[in-house]
Amino acid sequence: MAFTKKSGFLLCFWGMHFFFLLLGCTSRSLREFKSSDVTSNNPAVKLHIEKKQVIAENDIIRVTFSNPEGTVLGITYNGINNVLEGRNKFNNRGYFDIVWNAPGRPSKLWGGSSGLYIYAVFEHPEHFPALEIDHIRIVFKLQNDRFHYMAVADDRQRLMPTPEDRSLGQRLDYDEAVLITSPSNPELQGEVDDKYQYSCENKDNKVHGWINLDSKTNESVGFWMITPSNEFRSGGPIRQGLTSHVGPTTLNILHTTHYSGKEVTMKLQEGEPFKKVYGPVFAYLNSISGIHDSERVLWSDAVLQLSKEVNRWPYDFPKSEDFVPTNKRGRLEGQLLIQDRHIKGGKFVYGDNAFIGLALPGDVGSWQRQSKGYQFWTEADKLGHFTIENIVPGEYNLYAWVPGIFGDYKYSTIVIITPGCNIQLGSLIYNPPRNGPTVWEIGIPDRSAAEFYVPNPYHNLINRLYTGKPLHKFRQYGLWARYTELYPNEDLIYNVGVSDYSKDWFYAQVPRKIGNNKYHPTTWEIKFHLPFVTRGRYTMRLALASATRSNLVVGFNNPVARPPHFSTGSIGQDNAVARHGIHGLYWSYSIEVPSNLLVEGSNTIYLRQAKGISPFQGIMYDYIRFERPEV
Ligand SMILES: *[C@@H]1O[C@H](CO)[C@@H](O)[C@H](O)[C@H]1NC(C)=O
């Protein structure tokens, strides 16, 4: 562990610098705090510096940090002496966590009103060694005896098992998934608990947390993680990450390889200069007297608080010069149109609800693997109009994709954002990949396998939260095993024009279980009829929504061609099958099919996922389209 000092205010852990900031304070490490710095900036916040700890408090809340490490030892709120788990070691209650090659280590900070604003400036100075970082997150571990009700979204909240319930339960196919067999609350008997069932896409990961319903005092308290902007999160709007889970733990995932794999690891070369501000995010506490219906009240209040924080973004209180204030940020607007000669006869079509984003310059679609820069995303309106505000100055590429349209868009010119700029891009035209008319298609090109067949969960392996919620069915445990039941001997065959992908196309191409614990690769078939073959090149557009240690080999009317007609090669580590995701990273391919591989009459495309030694290996399809040559 290297300690260096720079302008007197920096601590350094393994090559990363952290600024510690308290609301209303100038940026400096905790050991540099003086009460006078704080009170002069923000009279509401009082700071007590002691040898081993620093206490920040206002009329509502008191936060105790260790000095000089800066971990959060305690939060006193609404008569609760410490909402954090006091039985945990001092460095395991509230902290900033970076997981790199070796296990993570803490460091953190904040200050607030009825909560704590947290941010860190990570710096990798020029003389520092190479680093590989898999996760960056903020962690809060709440009092186990108090916080039992968890809320992640309007339709994703429930009474949760306790850590003891988990330790008494039965481990399922991996450590994270546990069958609750002797719960303290009998209502939870026979349910599965797995933290990945509460994952969320960045764009929706804005507020989540826990509620303490205290019947003794007749008081309820909520603890919420509020994220007013996604600009500092890596991987773009649909990168998935954890939220809250049994612990009771509340996380803020700022960077992660979950649902993506090592290919999105943040790699800093030796001497590579890097600096980025993560946050501020807001750990918010609220309370209400009574315990009846207070879950709903506290959740609604947290959602309201989120909108207040969003409206205040970018915050004006960070004193760090690395956090760019509103008046030094830029703005951009434009309109995305789509032109495809086989959609509406080649007329312009609006980029209805397109996702439009700025991210570091790179290849088309590269934003989903980016871990270093800021990203600024928005969704276009029905007419494809978009506005992106509060952009940190710098050089970006503008990327986009449109739900319902195959492929990825990138604006060819680098976008340079300067302080106060207001860039009018006008109409941008996306010409999606297209070689000829559609012969047939399967699925919806939207980067998810949700439209395909997601089976019912096993009744003895259920999370009741998702019962009766079809859109969340994919979050149930063990669905992958249904494949072998549905297709015990023969693999899936899809007959174009007859089959219905919402019923006949399994959501994931996983291996088939053979005997006790052996798995076998599977080959799916698409059968279709061609009344005639046009000489030339046909094209198969193939989009995958996920891949885990897979190799998809495609054959046209020949399952065993040597060499294969097409192969993706070894791809993917996103682990979306085991993590109850409905997508991981997006992969798209355009495969040329010479007409001599096709026949008049009945044709078969063989889709062999050639690697299959584990139940969690496999791919999810997003969309397949077959195009004939233009005539
Ligand atoms: C608990 O608080 C609520 C709301 O203030 C109140 O209506 C109720 O009577 C209280 N219950 C008890 C048992 O004190």
Give residue 33's pLDDT: 37
**Does any ligand 1 atom lie closer than 6 A to the CB of residue 420?**
no
pLDDT confidence of residue 59: 85
Distance CA 417, CA 31 (A): 36
Q: Are 403 and 373 in a shared domain?
A: yes
Question: How many domains is the chain built from?
Answer: 3
Tell me, yes or no, whether 62 and 101 share the same domain. Answer: yes
Domain harbouring 392, CATH code: 2.60.40.1120
Is residue 321 situated within a structural domain? no
What one-letter code names the amino acid at 435? N
Give tens-digit pLDDT for 79-101: 899 999 999 998 888 888 776 65
Query: What is the residue whose two structure tokens read 């809250």?
Result: 244
User: Is the CB of 387 within 6 Å of ligand 1?
Assistant: no
Is there a single domain that holds both residue 282 and residue 357?
A: no
Residue 377 has pLDDT above 80, yes or no: yes
Within a domain: 2: no
183 cis-preceded (ω within 30 degrees of 0): no
Where in the sequence is the domain holding 577, given as residue range(s)?
438-627
Co-location of 109 and 142 in the same domain: yes
Same domain, 94 and 224: yes
- Indicate whether 451 and 599 sit together in one domain: yes
**What's the pLDDT band for 30 if we cut at 50, 70, 90?**
very low
**Statement to judge: residues 308 and 367 lie in one domain:** no
More confident residue, 73 or 543: 543
Do residues 443 and 479 share a domain? yes
Say if 153 falls within a structural domain. Answer: yes
Within 380-518, where are the H helices? 482-486, 501-504
Ligand 1 pocket residue status of 289, Cβ below 6 Å: yes
> Which DSSP string do the residues of 50-97 spell out, in sequence order?
-SSEEEEE-SSEEEEEETTT--EEEEEETTBS-SB-TTS-TTSSEEEE
Q: Are the C-beta atoms of 28 and 111 separated by less than 8 Å?
A: no
The answer as to whether 21 is a domain residue is yes
What pLDDT sits at residue 109? 30
Residues 417 and 507 in one domain: no
Residues with Cβ within 8 Å of 89's Cβ and at least 6 positions away in sequence, in order, are: none
277 and 374 co-located in one domain: no
> Which pLDDT score, from 0 to 100, does residue 31 have?
34
pLDDT of 140-181, one tens digit each? 999 999 999 999 999 999 999 999 999 999 999 999 999 999
**Which residue's CA is the nearest one to ligand 1's atom 10?**
290
- In a domain, residue 253? The reply is yes
Does the CB atom of residue 217 touch ligand 1 within 6 A? no
Mutate to test the pocket of ligand 1, among 78, 215, 292 (most ligand atoms within 8 A of CB): 292
Where would I find the H helices in 408-481?
none
Q: Answer yes or no: do 567 and 503 share one domain.
A: yes
Residue 184 Cβ < 6 Å to ligand 1: no
> Residue 8 above 90 pLDDT?
no
Distance 218 CA to ligand 1 centre (A): 6
Last residue within a domain, chosen from 312, 334, 352: 312
How far away, in angstroms, is 302 Cα from ligand 1 center? 22
223-263 pLDDT, tens digit each? 999 999 999 999 999 999 999 999 999 999 999 999 999 99
Which pLDDT belongs to residue 42? 57
Structure confidence by residue, pLDDT tens digits, 486-513: 999 999 999 999 999 999 999 999 999 9
Give the model confidence (pLDDT) of 389-437 as tens digits.
999 999 999 999 999 999 999 999 999 999 999 999 999 999 999 999 9
Domain membership of residue 1 (yes or no) is no
Q: Determine, yes or no, domain membership for 318.
A: no
Strand stretches in 172-273, DSSP E: 178-179, 192-193, 200-201, 207-214, 219-226, 240-241, 244-245, 249-255, 266-268
Last residue of a domain, one of 430, 447, 472: 430
CATH number of residue 514's parent domain:
2.60.120.260
Last residue of a domain, one of 277, 312, 347: 312
Q: Which CATH number fits the domain that encloses residue 118?
A: 2.70.98.10
What average pLDDT does the segment 563-583 reach? 98
Alpha carbons 190 and 183: distance in angstroms, whole number: 9
pLDDT for the residue 163: 96
Q: Is residue 39 part of a domain?
A: yes
- Co-location of 271 and 340 in the same domain: no
Q: Whose CA is nearest to atom 4 of ligand 1?
A: 290
